[in-house]
């Protein structure tokens, strides 16, 4: 039995009994979709974010910095990409830690692996993908996202673009020294609870808007309107989806519900996920913030390398899952 079946029962009860909406109508599909996905995603977020944040109390950011500084190039890229999975899910909130890595002496290519991985594959994205698409697509997405982050960081590091970082970034070095402290389990659980509540407070507007848009599209927008632009039969659908996604700004909570509906409307998996990757890993607000700490040339290099990786991933998804 579907583990989310009890949630479906609750959504059906609220939609058709409490709200008394007539079945098989557009509004019924919209409301039922909205209630079901909202309950399911919030429940998954609370469970997974609490668990990950509790575990993360044993691995402070200062310790991660010191580890990354000591490791060789490729290991550093891999570790930074993996660390990005359990860090803040929004690109703009990941940038301060990205700068901390630079100031701590972490190689620039390694810091970019973190910056790419953090918004693209994190606890929120993983939870939503798992809940909506199942473990196979979630796992494939995580693997390809990690590959993009690792290879992009390695390429950027090989280009030696340190001269394209603003000078003030390097003026204040952050110590990589980490002093171990004993913290009780209850305090760690309290921190995890507070962190989870803080994340939910930040994410719920994006979540409701994303699910709401997805519900409206699910109930009212004909498949032809979406597939005409990024339909699975067009060779240019993947790069067009990436281009469309870049000007948009959202986190995983806001965009994945919409991706779910795109798939229902006939858009191929690779195209839909390439769109999601471009929204979460490449965005105009991110570029505006990065412009304060690096030169335009490096932003273009970063965007070009990541976009190329996303497009390649979209085509690979379409080939494997066709």
Residue-by-residue pLDDT tens, the chain, 322 positions: 456 778 889 988 998 889 888 887 888 888 888 888 788 878 877 887 788 778 767 766 566 666 666 656 688 888 888 888 776 555 555 666 676 677 667 888 888 898 888 877 767 677 777 777 778 888 888 888 899 999 999 999 899 888 888 776 666 554 443 344 567 888 888 888 887 887 677 667 767 876 787 677 767 766 566 667 776 567 788 998 888 877 665 666 667 777 777 777 778 888 888 888 887 778 766 677 677 778 889 889 988 998 998 898 889 888 887 6
Nearest Cα neighbor of 164 from 306, 288, 299 is 299
Q: What is the pLDDT of residue 175?
A: 41
Give CA–CA dist 253/210, Å, rounded.
7
Q: What is the pLDDT of residue 166?
A: 77
Whether residue 282 contacts residue 306, with contact meaning beta carbons closer than 8 Å, is answered with yes
Whether residue 107 contacts residue 161, with contact meaning beta carbons closer than 8 Å, is answered with no
Q: What is the pLDDT of residue 179?
A: 41
Q: What is the pLDDT of residue 177?
A: 39
Q: What is the pLDDT of residue 180?
A: 46
Q: CA Rg, the chain, in Å?
A: 21
Nearest Cα neighbor of 224 from 266, 272, 268, 273 is 266
Give CA–CA dist 69/63, Å, rounded.
10
Q: What is the pLDDT of residue 24?
A: 78
Question: For residue 52, what are its two tokens?
Answer: 């990950």
Assign 136 to helix, strand or coil: helix
State the DSSP code for 72. -
Whether residue 148 contacts residue 273, with contact meaning beta carbons closer than 8 Å, is answered with no
Nearest Cα neighbor of 88 from 256, 202, 190 is 202
Question: For residue 104, what are its two tokens?
Answer: 């701590």
Give CA–CA dist 254/207, Å, rounded.
5
Q: What is the pLDDT of residue 151?
A: 92
Torsion sign (Cα): 199, 123, 213, 245: positive
Which residues are CB-neighbours of 268 under 8 A, at least 6 positions away? 231, 232, 237, 317, 318, 321, 322
Q: Whole-prediction pTM value?
A: 0.65
- Cα of 312 vs its chain's centroid, Å: 18
Q: Give ∠ CA 223-234-140 in degrees, rounded to 5.
A: 85
Give CA–CA dist 61/142, Å, rounded.
22
**DSSP letters along 27-53, please?**
HHHHHHHHHHHHHHHHHHHHHHHHHHH
Give CA–CA dist 96/103, Å, rounded.
11
């Amino acid at each position: 039995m579907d583990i989310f079946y009890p949630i479906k029962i609750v959504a059906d009860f609220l939609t058709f009994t409490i709200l008394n909406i007539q079945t098989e109508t557009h509004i019924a599909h919209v409301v039922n979709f909205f209630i079901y996905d909202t309950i399911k995603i919030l429940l998954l977020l609370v469970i997974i974010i609490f668990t990950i944040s509790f575990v993360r109390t044993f691995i402070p950011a200062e310790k991660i910095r010191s580890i990354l500084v000591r490791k060789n190039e490729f290991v550093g890229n891999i570790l930074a990409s993996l660390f990005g999975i359990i860090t803040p899910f929004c690109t703009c909130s990941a940038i301060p830690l990205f700068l901390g890595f630079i100031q701590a002496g972490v190689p620039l290519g390694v810091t970019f692996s973190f910056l790419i991985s953090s918004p693209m594959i994190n606890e929120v994205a993983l939870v939503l993908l798992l809940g909506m698409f199942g473990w196979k697509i979630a796992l494939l997405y995580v693997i390809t996202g990690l590959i993009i982050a690792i290879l992009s960081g390695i390429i950027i590091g090989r280009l030696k673009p340190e001269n394209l970082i603003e000078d003030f970034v390097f003026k204040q070095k952050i110590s990589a020294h980490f002093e171990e402290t004993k913290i009780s389990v209850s305090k760690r659980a309290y921190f995890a609870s507070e962190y989870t509540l803080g994340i939910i407070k930040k994410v719920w507007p994006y979540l409701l808007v994303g699910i709401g848009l997805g519900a409206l599209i699910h109930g009212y927008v004909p498949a032809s309107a979406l597939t005409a632009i990024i339909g699975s039969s067009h060779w240019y659908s993947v790069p067009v989806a990436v281009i469309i996604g870049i000007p948009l700004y959202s986190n995983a909570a806001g965009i994945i519900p919409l991706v779910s509906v795109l798939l229902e409307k006939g858009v191929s998996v690779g195209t839909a996920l390439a769109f999601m990757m471009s929204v979460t890993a490449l965005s105009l607000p991110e570029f505006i913030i990065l412009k304060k700490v690096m030169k335009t040339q490096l932003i273009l290099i970063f965007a070009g390398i990541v976009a190329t990786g996303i497009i390649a991933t979209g085509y690979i998804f379409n080939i494997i899952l066709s």
